[in-house]
Structure 1
């Protein structure tokens, strides 16, 4: 059975999540009302009275956090998969 390269898969996931974070953040900056509506639909909530608070610190910490967390999660899944398929 084929083994997965857990490190490469984790790094690829982290890079893709970073790109998605950049795109999503750009949408929040350029079309905030539409993104608030989409977020409300995703959370099954009425966010009409809410407002975005986009600062560089939040942008960078979210970029790093979600990229690292996603990369580590996929690395762990690939490592467990490799053990189970051995």
Structure 2
């Protein structure tokens, strides 16, 4: 079965954008808990730090992650298609 690499890349970009927006919303709603969880994920104590969240930052970050995820999805599907006999 062949994957459409462009559609897979687009689906990856949209998925990353949705996850980014949900994460940003959680930071607004529960900043302390999200800071603690972020620290746990990178094995650091980040509780003394604070969030600097702006609308521009959310949009710019979402765009960056969408481009990265879309490109990675396209590469992944392209490699998969070459491996499938």
Fold agreement, TM-score > 0.5: yes
Q: 1:70 and 2:65 equivalent? A: no
TM-score (norm 2): 0.94
Indicate the residue corresponding to 2:30 in structure 1: 31
Q: What does 1:1-86 correspond to in 2, within 5 Å? A: 2-86=1-85
Structure 2 distance, partners of 1:20, 1:77, is 19
Q: Deviations over 1:38-62 (max 9, x none)?
A: 0010010001210000012211110
Any gaps of 5 or more consecutive residues in structure 2? none
**Number of residue pairs aligned between Structure 1 and Structure 2:** 85
Stretches of structure 1 lacking an aligned partner (at least 5 in a row): none
Q: Distance in 1 between matches of 2:48 and 2:70?
A: 34
User: What TM-score results when the alignment is normalised by the length of structure 1?
Assistant: 0.93
Following TM superposition, where does structure 1 have runs of at least 4 consecutive aligned residues deviating by more than 3 angstroms? none
Query: What is the CA distance between 1:84 and its match in structure 2?
Result: 2.2
